[in-house]
Chains A and B, each alone.
Chain A
Amino acid sequence: MSTIKGVEKMSQPNPVNSLASVAASRPQHVDSKHVAGTGLEARNIHAWFGDKHVIDDVTLDFYPGTVTALIGPSGCGKSTFIRILNRMHEFIPTAAMAGEVLLEGTDIYKSGTDVTKIRLGIGMVFQKPNPFPSMTIKENVLSGLKLAQLKVANQSELLESCLIRAGLWNEVKDRLDEYGGALSGGQQQRLCIARSLAVSPQVLLMDEPCSALDPGSTLRIEETIRELSASMTIVIVTHNMQQAARVSDRTGFFLSDGGPGRLIECSTTSEIFSNPKDKRTEDYVTGRFG
């Protein structure tokens, strides 16, 4: 039996192992113990749309300086969950939630909180690149200052540093006064990342940021994510397990059994792809379903 299994492995690369090797090939994340009151902490999160219970009791910590990927099949609640993390959930009229989200120890749903300040601290990049079409590249990057009525002493310095950090500076430095819509899809998405960086958030949420992009642009954005992770907490929802393996330090697996979505397990990315604790995680990352 064991010899046959070994032969199979040689002739046909096992997806678990290939993803595990992708995850392992990166500089290993040192999984230090989470320090309470740092980064972003979700505590016993539930979510509803009307009467429909869509997220059931998710508790998850996002460590500072770390990229956490949320994976799982469609409809498992991971996008809803990430939208709860910066209070975008409440824009849907019937949406409700329970639990706490702590940004550096403070509950962002505490009554009397100024939600616009929360979203300044927790930025978001969306699935579809959405630069403001009526603004130039420069205006797009600096739009957050105008929208949140912030004042910055040196705007051109901020503009340059945001575009450099988003990996877009060299491509656009000579055309800052062109409209954002003139860029390619991948460039537009990096422009959106630069725009989020301009209000200097501690946390950046990314909801499938590459699913509308070609592979080249995807890789470029993944590099950007890696570079940004040194200085901030990043949460990325992705359908693409290779992407989770390439880009994240920790991975959380969400699953719904037809009812509300639950967090099945969350651990270091190499652990999730090489040695998952839960059978369902293993089935998912090996491509047996989903």
Chain B
Amino acid sequence: MNTAARTLPPKRVITTKPRFSDKVFRAVVTSGGFSSLVILGLISIFLLINGLNTFKSEGFKFITGFEWYGPQLDAGLPAQYGIGAMLYGTIVIGLIALFFGFPIAVGAALFLSYYAPEWLKKPMVLVVDVMAAIPSIVFGLWGYFILMPHAEYWAKLIHKYLGFIPIFDMPAPAFSRSPFIAGLVLAIMILPIITSISREIFAQTPLDRIQAAYALGATKWSMIKSVVFPYGRGGVIGGAMLGLGRAIGETVAVYTVLNIVYDINIEVLLSAGGSVASMIVNKFGEASPEEVKALMAAGFVLFLVTLFINFLADLIINRTARKG
């Protein structure tokens, strides 16, 4: 064939000479961009190095064990560091927070997108955003002094009528500072992020699909079910995951309203729960240097868990955004 004999010209290297101002701006932006990566990397390395000894000495028991105490010299026992119960507790209160927070947040987002009168929209969006800026200790104090007395009463009702379900059973009448109450406080704390992400996704629903649904005789609710939800599903789930990430990492508010017990209790109304982040705060003040390193190891595990959840959330948001 002729074409085989043909020699094609070499591919040219296409370059451009940036101006000085471009170079400066590029350097500034690049260092800004990389700094967050570097900081994240340094923090995780710091936690990993400090926690390494604990990981080595405890092994897999660090994740599965329930015991947490320093070396007991008089009894001649070595230290035991295990965050199994705390990890379990973290997930439980995270799920309780989602159970209550998610429907409220999605409902609020729907209201803001499709039902609220125009004059109410802007102030309400602002209020939701301001909620995200409230310091978590404020939520903790409010939860302890205002919410808890009511929540105890609700817990008693739940126990009275649904007590036959094992998770609502009560071995002892101690209703305060339970995972249920911590989950309620967290539910309120994760409202803003889920609401604002859901609202943004709902607002992007293509108008032509909404109109197509209405032109077929849809009611508002059937339009939302058939058009808005399928379009926004991924974003809303992603928002819920980000909320879960926040709930899992939350420290002070949970510490205020949760009684930390180093054991797994399936009874969520009982005043005994766990949370990795709150445990670290709880132990940090009086920890020996060795125990501090164990706490850092716990921090590293928590960091990995939140990283994983946020990564998952990102994945879900992006995947569905492209499909949109």
Contact = CB atoms under 8 A, between A and B. Distances in A.
B263 to A, nearest CB: 46
Interface of B: 118, 206, 208-209, 211-219, 222-223, 226-227, 230-231
A119 B230 contact: no
Interface string A118-146: 01100110101011111100000001101
Contacts of A4: none
B219 to A, nearest CB: 5
Contacts of A196: 215-216
Contacts of A44: none
Given A126-B212, A130-B208, A147-B222, A116 B230 contact: no
A136 B227 CA distance: 14
A144 B209 contact: no
A93 B117 CA distance: 10
Contacts of B231: 134
Interface of A: 86, 88, 91, 93, 116-117, 119-120, 123-124, 126, 128, 130-135, 143-144, 146-149, 192, 195-196, 199
A91 B217 contact: no
A128 B211 contact: no
A146 B226 contact: yes
A130 B207 CA distance: 10
A83 B213 CA distance: 14
Contact of A147 (B118, B206, B211, B217): B217
26 contacts: A88-B211, A88-B214, A88-B215, A91-B214, A116-B218, A116-B219, A119-B215, A119-B217, A123-B216, A126-B212, A130-B206, A130-B208, A130-B209, A131-B212, A132-B226, A132-B227, A133-B209, A135-B226, A143-B213, A147-B219, A148-B217, A148-B218, A149-B219, A192-B212, A196-B216, A199-B217
B47 to A, nearest CB: 43
Given A124-B215, A134-B231, 14 more contacts: A88-B211, A93-B118, A119-B215, A120-B216, A123-B215, A126-B208, A130-B208, A130-B209, A144-B216, A147-B213, A148-B217, A148-B219, A192-B212, A195-B216
Nearest to A134: B230
A77 B287 CA distance: 76
B214 to A, nearest CB: 6
Nearest to B210: A91
B208 A128 contact: yes
A171 to B, nearest CB: 21
Most buried by A among B212, B217, B223, B226: B217
Contacts of A93: 118
Nearest to A132: B209
Nearest to B324: A133
B214 A130 contact: no
Most buried by A among B206, B208, B211, B218: B218
Contact of B215 (A86, A133, A134): A86
Contacts of B217: 116-117, 119-120, 144, 147-148, 199
A113 to B, nearest CB: 13
Contacts of B213: 132, 143, 147
A126 B118 CA distance: 27
A123 B230 CA distance: 23
A245 to B, nearest CB: 27
Nearest to B216: A144
Most buried by A among B211, B212, B213: B212
A175 to B, nearest CB: 20
Given A146-B222, A146-B226, A132 B214 contact: no
Contact of A130 (B118, B212, B223, B226): B212
Contact of A143 (B206, B208, B211, B226): B226
A207 B142 CA distance: 56
Given A130-B209, A132-B209, A134-B231, A119 B216 contact: yes
